[in-house]
Every structure is written in C-alpha cells, then in structure tokens.
Structure 1
Amino acid sequence: MDNSNRPDLRAYIGATGSGKGVSIREHLDKLKPPRRVFWDPLGEYGHYGKTVTTIKALCEALKADKFAVCFWPGPNAQEFAGKFDLFCRAVFSAGNCFVHIEELNDVTTPTHAPPAWRRISKQGRHQGLSVCVGTQRPADCDKAFLSGVTYVRVFTMRFKKDKQVMAELLEIPYSEVQDLYTVEKDNGTTVINCYERDFRTGQRGPKTITLTRKK
C-alpha cells in the first residue's frame, strides 16, 4: 500500500448522526487496508481492530507486518494534545498504512496544527500514508489540512460558520450546503443528503444515501 506518488487525504464532515460514520465505514470496508490505525477518542472503531490505551502498546502494535489498532486517548481531553503528538510520531515512523483521525477539531485549531500531525498531512504520502479525517466542526480544525484534501464529503451541519467554511472549500453557493439534511422516516429508512468532491478526478455534486433499518 504505497501512495508515495499519490496523496490521499480524505475528509468526512458533518454533525453527529448526519451519516459521516456510515460513509467512513463504507470506505473502510471497500478499501480493506491490511495496515490501519485509528485515533479513536469516542471508542467508535474498536470492531476494526485491537484497542490500546498507551503509546507503548501502540508502538508495539505498529511493528507488525499487518495490523488493525485503535488508540483510545482516555476520557481527559486535556491530555489529548500530548498523546496526539506521540500518536502521530508513531504512525509516521511506521508508514505504509491507513490512518483515521476522528474529531480533528479536538486536537487542532484553524491556525495551529501540531508539528507531528502537520508532517503527516504534508509529507505522509512519502511514507505511504493514506489519511482520513472525521469532524463535526470544520471551522474549528486545521485549515491547512482542509486546504489540501484530495476528497471531501459533507453532510448536514448545525452552525453557520461551519457551513460557510465548507461552501468556500467546495466552491459552491452557501445555500447548497445549507440544504444538506439527514432525515429518519417512520418507515425505518434514513435519507442522507450530502455533497462530495474529488479534487483529483474532478468528480463533484450532491449525493443521496438511503439506509433501511434492520428489523
């Protein structure tokens, strides 16, 4: 899995329950990367691999030829910054893997990206890293990363500032972002309206996903 000549920076953006997680899992199930690691502050991705809670255990897991490991940084958000820096250092050193960062806005700001994370987003392709990010608040996370994404899928959002940021990134009218919505219907189906853009292929436009609840 060597993407050294082809950057792969994906972003899935939307409010909780908007369909963001569904799309990330769909991408993962399609890609099936043999080496994958998750920054998992909400403990959402444990079914994809072993959950570890220390950097030492993470580094040990990343030594394998194949791995699926989720790093849970614990409940104290004040400790996230230091742990995220070490997480990113370990992942960059391991190389040749899929790395997912959940809730990027927890560990970056629009004007600040930790150096180790910046190295992943700017130089990761030379290490064979395929990067995927999920966030509810694009206005509050690393603007440099968003400016360099190769693919983005946007769902309904709650705040005007977030909608403005995504309208600018996607180069579409604000009204098109404002009209994105996810609706759960009485018949057990969920309709997800989103907008996606692939900056490499030029593919862009609205997309509707319909999910049927299992009985």
Structure 2
Amino acid sequence: MSVRNEPKIWAYIGASGSGKGVSINAALRQLKPARLLIWDPRDEYDKHAPRYTSLKALALAVAKAGAGPFRARFVAGDSMKLEAAFAFVCRLAFDAGNLVFLAEELSDVTSASQAPPAWRKCITQGRHQGLHIMAAAQRPALIDKTLLGNCTFVRCFGLRYDDDRRAMAKALDVDQARVNALRTVKDSRGVVIAYLERDFRNADEARAGNIKLKAT
C-alpha cells in the first residue's frame, strides 16, 4: 500500500443489526490489506486479525512488523479507560502508516462536539501517512463531525432515532425521507438489507442499494 495524497475515509453507519457489519466484513475480504489495525471494542472481527488486549503487546507487534505486513485488532478490557486506549491505538495507526485502520463503535469514544486529537489527526492528516480509514457507528448524531465532514465514502443503513436520520440526511445531502425509509427485512427466504451510499469523489448524489442474504 503506497503513500498517496488522496484521502480514503469510509464510514458505515447504522443501528445495531442493520447490516453495517456485513458490509465491513465484505470490504475487508475484498481489500485483503497486508497491514490492518482494528479498534474492536465488541470483539467482532476475529476472522480478520488476531486479538490483543494489552496496549504494550500491540505496540510491540506493530513495531516488530516495521514496514512489513501485520494484522492486529485491539479489544479493550472492562477496566480500561476507552478514550485513552482509543487515543493510543490512533497514534499507533498514524505512526505506523500505510495501513487500513478500522475504528468501530465511535460513539463510545467520540462525541458530537469532540473529536479526540489523535483520531482527528488520523482523519485530517492520515492521507499523508497512507492511511485508509474505515469507521463505523450506530448513532451518527452522537459522533464527532470531523469524520462525516471528511468522508470520501459513506454507506448508511437503517437508523432508529430521528436525530440520527436527520444527521445522515445532511451528511449524504438527501431528503430525510430516503433515510427514514431504510429497512432490514427478514422473512423465510432470508434478509434484505437496504442502504444509501455516496462516493463523494465520483458520484454527484447518493444511490440506493441492498444486500441480500439467503436464509440458512
């Protein structure tokens, strides 16, 4: 993965069970990044990288890899201060560079009025480090606006709260009725997951799509 001066910041937004995890897993399988770091507070991405629960051990693993390939995900323990641990992982991602950095559950560690400095640096300056940022959140109204304001790609799924739907309508520059209509529908045949997405570098407007999963 070469260092490029073009930002690559992807956001996946949706309520719990809405389908964002399905999309992120598919994206990671397609990208097959040689260098991958995941902030994984819910311990969900075991298929993509080994788990670390010690920040020291994580830092040693990244340092040992140097400029070479590595895959790691950090799962914070219950006794940890999430904000401090997240800031550490963000600094680690930025300093390592040339990697895919996935940050899950951003409403745990950011707020609408505050982007932690290390995270903000990844978003605003990460392109110079070759960072490809993937970010996910259930409550877009509660996360920092730095992310949504700098995204190059956004995929939005169903949301339960009006303020979240309003935030995503604004971020995607669409009528809120289109966001309100997003649903995940289950029946005996499987699941159909509706989404809206926009590639801000290549598309003039958001487009609708769906993911179909067959019943097992």
Shorter chain as denominator, the TM-score bin is: over 0.9
Can you give the 5+ residue segments of structure 2 that lack an aligned partner in the other structure?
A: none
Give me the whole-angstrom Cα distance separating, in 1, the residues matched to 2:160 and 2:183. 10
Aligned residue for 1:33? Answer: 33
Contact 1:190-1:212 within 8 A present in 2 as well: yes
Give me the whole-angstrom Cα distance separating, in 2, the residues matched to 1:57 and 1:93. 16
In the TM superposition, 1:3-22 aligns within 5 A as 3-22=3-22
Q: Per the alignment, in what secondary structure is the counterpart of residue 15 of structure 2?
A: coil
In the TM superposition, 1:4-153 aligns within 5 A as 4-63=4-63, 64=65, 65-76=68-79, 79-153=81-155
Q: Per the alignment, in what secondary structure is the counterpart of residue 47 of structure 1?
A: coil
Give me the whole-angstrom Cα distance separating, in 2, the residues matched to 1:75 and 1:186. 38
Letter in 1 for 2:157: F
Can you give the 5+ residue segments of structure 1 that lack an aligned partner in the other structure?
A: none
Letter in 2 for 1:74: G
Please identify runs of 4+ aligned residues in structure 1 that moved more than 4 A.
Answer: none
- 1:186 deviates by 1.9
Give me the whole-angstrom Cα distance separating, in 2, the residues matched to 1:170 and 1:145. 13
The RMSD of aligned alpha carbons is: 1.1
Question: Under a length normalisation based on structure 2, what TM-score does the superposition of the two structures give?
Answer: 0.95
How many residues end up aligned between the 2 structures?
212
- 1:202 deviates by 1.1
Q: How high is the sequence identity, in percent, across the aligned residues?
A: 42
- 1:163 deviates by 0.1
Aligned residue for 1:164? Answer: 166
Aligned residue for 2:197? Answer: 196
**Structure 1 residues 147-156 or 62-71, which shifts more?**
62-71
Q: Deviations over 1:130-158 (max 9, x none)?
A: 00001000000011111110000000000
Give me the whole-angstrom Cα distance separating, in 2, the residues matched to 1:209 and 1:140. 26
